[in-house]
Structure 1
Amino acid sequence: MFDPIEQFKKFQQFSKESWGEIKKVSWPARKETIASTVAVIVSVLLIATFLGLVDLLLSKVVGGVIKYGNLR
């Protein structure tokens, strides 16, 4: 049977344990976080640009093959 008081006690215990675990975490410094974020953004932009160019190239190749096939 559902016991709201028991559920609340379980939630309190869970919250206390979670907070204890969060205190153990070694958080990165602000400078390190910013550097990592910039590295991720630059990497994503480079990969997106590369994939966009590959897609454009393959679209042109496939379009040319289809056009060549229709000429025959």
Structure 2
Amino acid sequence: MIGIETGWIFSCTGRQPWTIYGYQLTNEAATNSGNLGMLFVLFISLYVVLLVITALVMHFYFYRNPVSKDLHTIS
């Protein structure tokens, strides 16, 4: 996630001053590569899969190690 965000920041800050000062047009600064919709779907599906896996791991972990045992030992 950090890599994605820093890549976006560096790519945008590298071309934004040129666009603001009028040396580059906005349509020249925008990404014009193809298949962006497919990449977006792949990223979303990857994050959904990771979300489901994380939820399952946490569910089975807390099923085997309930928090209620720890709460009763504290009080």
The TM-score with structure 1 as length reference comes to 0.54
Q: Which runs of 5+ in 2 are unaligned?
A: 1-18
Distance in 2 (alpha carbons) for counterparts of 1:62 and 1:16: 61
* Structure with the higher fraction of residues in helix conformation: 1
How many residue pairs were aligned? Answer: 53
Q: 2:22 aligns with which of 16, 36, 39?
A: 16
Runs in 1 of length 4+ with deviation above 2 angstroms? 64-67
Assess, with a 3 A threshold, how the Cα gap between structure 1 residues 45 and 14 changes in structure 2: closer, same or farther.
closer
Q: Which runs of 5+ in 1 are unaligned?
A: 1-12
The TM-score with structure 2 as length reference comes to 0.52
| Percentage identity across paired residues of the two chains | 8
SS in 1 for 2:32: coil
Deviation string 1:5-57 (CA, Å, 9 cap, x unpaired) is: xxxxxxxx93413xx0641555122xx01110110111011000000001101
Aligned residues: CA RMSD: 3.1
